[in-house]
Amino acid sequence: MKDTNALNTTSNGAEGLRLDQSVYEQITQMIISGELETGLAISESELSRRLEVSRTPVHEAINRLAKDGLIIQQHNRRPLVASFDTEDIFDVYEMRRILEREAAAKAATRIDSFTLSELQKAAEQYRRCQDQPSALRAWVEFDDKFHAAIAAACGSKRLQADIERYRLLHRVFNRTHTNPGVLVQAYAEHLKILDALRNRDAAAAHSAMDHHIAEWQRFFVKHLQH
């Protein structure tokens, strides 16, 4: 017999994680867009009202954003919005290049056939909906799955965790500042990385991932200027 209480607990936990992630991404976008201006004192209760959520996910998001450098926390004072400029964007993608090219090289010798097959299926599924209205949402889902799978296959939990941290910011950029033209190029770059993984070629995987993220770095530095 299934433990329905356990199932409900798991479901509620998953919903809580999704809410925390959504609130984090919304506040991140507010900072990046300038809606929350540099130097602004953050009121958790005000953000809770604006986002129509309780203070708990807002508080968690503020703590995460402080670790990301987007919020400044001072003792006995309200947190402040930190500056976020093109140099910060460049640095985010520079860290992604360092972390993910190494992960790709490691994954090339560790990734299993099932994961490779699943990534190939995901790539084909995205290709079929490239010209549909839902293409951007499909891209975000495919891109998340692709990079998460490689990070998970690298064999290092610490490296995987650091990659996920920097990809949180990329996920916000991806949803709000991409366009069909750049996605065509990015998709081709994904396929090149996948080929290197399939061939168990660590050097090629390292190079392909580095090039892919460097292209995103150039794109977002240009398009995310206030």
Query: What is the CATH number for 19?
Result: 1.10.10.10
pLDDT per residue over 13-67, tens digit each?
Answer: 556 668 888 999 899 888 877 789 889 999 999 999 999 999 999 999 999 999 8
Nearest to 160 by CA among 149, 171, 168, 145: 149
The pLDDT assigned to 137 comes to 87
Band of pLDDT at residue 11, cut at 50, 70 and 90: very low
pLDDT score, position 147? 97
Q: Examine the domain organization and report whether 184 and 207 are in the same domain.
A: yes
Are residues 137 and 196 located together in one domain of the fold?
Answer: yes
* Token pair 């964007």: residue: 89
The pLDDT of 113-139, averaged and rounded, is 93
Q: Of the candidates 66, 81, 96, which is a domain's last residue?
A: 81
Cα(206)–Cα(6) distance, rounded to whole angstroms?
A: 42
What's the domain count of the chain?
2
Query: Which residues, including other chains, have CB under 8 Å from residue 49's CB and lie 6 or more apart?
Result: none
Cα 27 → chain centroid: 14
Average confidence score pLDDT of the chain: 88
Report DSSP letters for 130-192, one per residue: TTSTTHHHHHHHHHHHHHHHHHHHTS-HHHHHHHHHHHHHHHHHHHHH--HHHHHHHHHHHHH
The predicted model gives 74-100 an average pLDDT of 90
Whole-number Å distance between alpha carbons of 53 and 27: 12
Same domain, 25 and 70: yes
| Cα angle, residue 206 at apex, residues 99 and 220 outer, rounded to 5° | 60
Query: Which of 31, 60, 81 is the last residue before a domain boundary?
Result: 81
Tell me: do 61 and 110 sit in the same domain.
no
Residues 75 and 140 in one domain: no
Q: What's the pLDDT score for residue 169?
A: 81
Residue 205 has pLDDT above 90, yes or no: yes
Query: Are 30 and 46 found together in one domain?
Result: yes
Pick the more confident residue, 169 or 141.
141
Q: What is the span of the domain harbouring residue 195?
A: 86-223
